[in-house]
Structure 1
Amino acid sequence: MPDAVLPSTARTLLARAARVQRDGRALSLVAGVVRSDGLVWSAGRGAVAEPHTDVQYRLGSISKTVTAVAVLRLRDEGLLRLDDPLDRHLRGTPMGDRTVGQLLSHLGGAAAESPGGWWERVPGGTLADLGLAEEHVVLGSARRFHYSNLGFGLLGELVARARGRAWEDVVRSEVLEPLGMTRTTPRPVAPAAEGHAVHPWADVVLPEPEHDAGVMAAAGQLWSTLADLGRFAVFLLGDTGDVLDPATLEEMAVPAGVDSSAPGWAAYGLGLQVVRMDGRTLIGHGGSMPGFLAGVFVDRDEAAGAVSLANTTSGPEPVVFGLLADLRAAEPRIVEPWAPSPPPVSLDVLGTWFWGPAPHLLRALPKGLLHLGPLPGRAGRASRFAARDDGTWVGLDGYYAGEPLRIAHDHLDVGTFVFTRSPYDPDAPVPGGVDERGWAH
């Protein structure tokens, strides 16, 4: 285990995991924290086989993130676009006019569950066996976030047809094996925990069923170990290897349909949950299936993650968030030292600019980026910008995300908003012109 945490931190983490297992009445719980090299602390509580890091549990909806990675690999290869309608790649469903990107971000309006028996407890079949109809489109496209297991079942089928082999074969060869997740499988391989429900009024348990979910497997069927889930957390921290371009992982983590500048929110990107908690932005996914709960979330600013697996249908609090808070409080990340770096534009371009009468700052950031935003203490729109080959810049986030920034000697043009060196500079191309009478009292 690389660079283990301090003994005092380990005790704090163990105390939290122990309390969650006891108070949540999970038959067993395994949990760990991760840094860039992998698990730095882990523990097992309850009826856990040894070694606790190698026992399989069901991942539930963390499988969706694995499926999303496979979809985005297709996109990066040019085999599809996120704006493509589903019907272009998977014909014959009532969701044919919904885009791949909408399904990845749960904005496609597909029903939450597949028709027929509850797929999490009933063996599944093929796409044709589902018998999808118009009634399984429950909302208009891009109307609102609506979590859809069915949507990810369809994405798994899209992956299978694009590659010409089963979904589980694709994710194994293209995602799991390259990440070293050799103990992550579509069905349990011993040693594996048995799923249980705990009676609400007594300390007794009931075994839960396990089966092949068929076409719905891509939404939640994978089994994994704490060690493998730790490797996946390292992937989410940015060590994507040959599996995914780091820029694509960044794209997955962009919240869809929510203002990420708000002080507190929870959203969904492309196969990733994005949560704002205690002033931190965390990315990852939770998972649940009958008999099991799972979680993997990372704090990229702290270069740390947390993972957990339990064999109970419901009960324990999401321990991963508490573990991340404990680790951050006990052993905060020591950031790299600041060092001078050349700005991406000349110094005379940087500094104060005015949108109408409102002062803003254009300043250089590390990695060749620019930031345009209001003066400290003032409200207003702010965005980072990256250079493009044609000499313009493009907004990365905030109000100006995707919008072009053009820099001239006397003004900035940001998607038709003009910023000038002085408030309403009459010599700059201010939209609508400037009253010739000028400022008066």
Structure 2
Amino acid sequence: MLPSTDTALLRRIATEQSANRVPSLVAAVVRDGELVWSGARGWVTDGEAPGSAPDNDTQYRLGSITKSLVAALVMRLRDEGRLHLNDPLDKHLPGTSFGSSTIGQLLSHTGGLTAESPGSWWERSPGSDWAALEASLTPETIKNRPGSRFHYSNVGYGVLGELIARHRGMSWLDALRQEVLTPLGMSRTTPHPEGRHAEGWAVHPFADVLLPEPAPDAGAMAPAGQLWSTVNDLARWTSFVGGHTGGVLNPDTVAEMHAVATVDDADAWTSGYGLGLQVVRYNGRRLAGHSGSMPGFLACTLVDENSSTGALALANTTSGAAIMSLTMDLIRIADEQEPKLPEQWRPAEVDKGLLTLTGLWHWGPTPYHLRLIPGGLLDLSPVGTGRASRFRPTGEDEWVGLDGYYAGETLRVGRAADGTPTHLDLATFIFTRTPYDPGAPIPGGVDEAGWR
């Protein structure tokens, strides 16, 4: 990035590190799938080089960002047809006291489960195995009616980790390595620190002294926050959330993970949750990603869906740093200092057989335009106000809605004997080339006297 942008970004993380007394802080900006800026402040003590500055290969604990990687594994199972998000947990993990909660509800923290596992605080305690965790989850650990409200549940992701293990015949962590980390080149993302890493600290609230924080293995709760990673690896994950999925998931599936399933401040709607991803609104922007905290560490990764600019930040402090605000500010600074230029238009390869579908259609008297858009998709949008959606092909003359009112609905093309498109049937709504074309199957028919 430009020197002026570099200075503005560095000043922002320097202010955060100094003002909030953070032992060390690393951060980065990604754009269009590439790491374009990184910076660091403070020092780390890892037993190898005491008092040295962190860099892009220094490991920090991710905390709950782990959940978004676990969610990607669940979505892979869904895309393979091994499960459905509306399946009750009991169908795949029978015998729990909360088997009526669906997989989708567990992903979006609406399953009604308790926030923390029973017993001592799991983040600072050695974890137990799945059998012990399951035995502790009595009916009393169901705190809300499933689906009734957002209630963040670390326990829910411990459960999803076991779900993955049952389907894959290996630990959730081994599945993660094989299916996500290795394909994305995230070789420095591990369950425990390896090589150069930052030690986690608590900073005394009234004096400039530090206390080391423990980092035990969380056992069955590990899917809720166990992983460690680096700037380089987390930049790859940030790019993944931004749609550069490297074949691990279809971009449409990642977009589905972005969609808000619930909000945790209903009146204000500044923060919500999709399928394993937090979604926030900030200064007119819509950002998706995840924050994380464990004793001794804070972390955050977010990406702007519109500008494709993302940012991440990692700190080795239990509290103090405004890690999400910092990450949002880095995105804002990057886009304000260097606004992204629109892609240059150029002709594209399209299925010429689809050209006959394009142009003007009418739903009743309302005109719509049907366009071919990149990715082999259709865009159906009203000429004025109304319902717009994109569609992807699912078969010959059959398409499925990706967003808007028609998300998940099927669009079928009706043709004359000579193959000419005559109408579109979209969830029983009939679109015709002219308003209320009497030659098309208009529900309720068309008055024989016609327009008057």
Establish whether TM, by shorter chain, passes 0.5: yes
Could you tell me how far apart the structure 1 residues matched to 2:433 and 2:262 are?
Answer: 34
Q: What RMSD, in angstroms, separates the aligned Cα atoms of the two structures?
A: 2.8
Shift of 1:416: 1.5
- Does the 8 Å contact 1:94/1:132 carry over to 2? yes
Question: For residue 408 of structure 2, what is the amino acid of its counterpart?
Answer: G
1:402 CA drift (Å): 0.8
CA offset digits 1:205-261 (Å, max 9, x no partner): 443332111110100011112222122223334443354444433433333357xxx
Match of 1:432 among 439, 444, 447: 444
- Counterpart CA distance in 2 for 1:228 and 1:346 is 41
Partner of 1:387: 393
Deviations 1:331-382 (A, max 9, x none): 2333332123447665564444443444333333223322223324x3x221
By how many angstroms is 1:152 displaced? 0.4
Distance 1:159 1:340 in 2: 43
Name the structure 1 match of 2:49.
none
Q: Could you say which residue in structure 2 is the equivalent of 1:105?
A: 108
Give, in whole Å, the separation in 2 of the partners of 1:264 and 1:142.
Answer: 18
Cα pair distance change 1:181/1:428, threshold 3 Å: closer
Report matched runs for 1:68-217 at 5 Å: 68-130=71-133, 131-217=136-222
Task: Give distance in 1, aligned partners of 2:397 and 2:317.
Answer: 56
1:426 to partner: Cα distance: 5.2
SS at match of 2:333: helix
What TM-score comes out, normalization by structure 1 length? 0.87
Q: Does 1:29 align with 2:33?
A: no
Q: Which amino acid aligns with 1:44?
A: A
Distance change (3 Å), C-alpha of 1:426 and 1:234: closer
Residues 35 and 235 in structure 2, CA contact (< 8 A), matched pair in contact too: yes
Over 3 Å counting, the alpha-carbon distance change for 1:372 and 1:163 in structure 2 is closer
* 1:384-418 CA distance string (max 9 Å, x none): 11222131221110110011112345543221223
In the aligned structure 2, how far is the partner of 1:265 from the partner of 1:395?
Answer: 27
Q: Aligned ranges for residues 270-419 of structure 1 at < 5 Å? A: 270-317=275-322, 318=324, 319-341=326-348, 342=350, 349-376=357-384, 378=385, 380-408=386-414, 409-419=421-431
- CA contact under 8 A between 1:344 and 1:368: conserved in structure 2? no
Deviation at 1:310, TM superposition (A): 0.7
Deviations 1:101-127 (A, max 9, x none): 322222322222222222122222122
1:294–1:373 Cα change, 3 Å: same
Question: CA 1:412–1:39 in 2, change beyond 3 Å: closer, same or farther?
Answer: closer
Residue 423 to residue 145, structure 1, CA distance change in 2 (3 Å): farther
The answer to whether structure 1 residue 12 and structure 2 residue 8 are counterparts is: yes
Residue 47 (1) aligns with residue 43 (2) = yes
Output the CA distance in 2 between the equivalents of 1:219 and 1:308. 19
1:54/1:366 Cα in 2 relative to 1: closer, same or farther (>3 Å)? closer
Alpha-carbon separation, structure 1, partners of 2:425 and 2:240:
38
- Where structure 2 has 5 or more consecutive residues not aligned to the other structure, the ranges are 45-51, 415-420
Structure 2 counterpart of 1:389, which letter? Answer: G
**Residue 151 of structure 1: CA displacement?**
0.7
* C-alpha distance in structure 1 between counterparts of 2:180 and 2:155, whole Å: 22
> Structure 1: any 5+ residue segments left out of the alignment?
none
CA contact (8 A) 2:43 2:53 kept: no
Residue identity over aligned pairs, in percent, reads 57
Alignment: residue pair count = 430
Counterpart Cα distance in 2 of 1:73 and 1:410: 38
CA deviations on 1:283-310 (whole Å, 9 max, x unpaired) are: 2211111221101122354343211101
With the length of structure 2 as denominator, give the TM-score of the two structures. Answer: 0.85
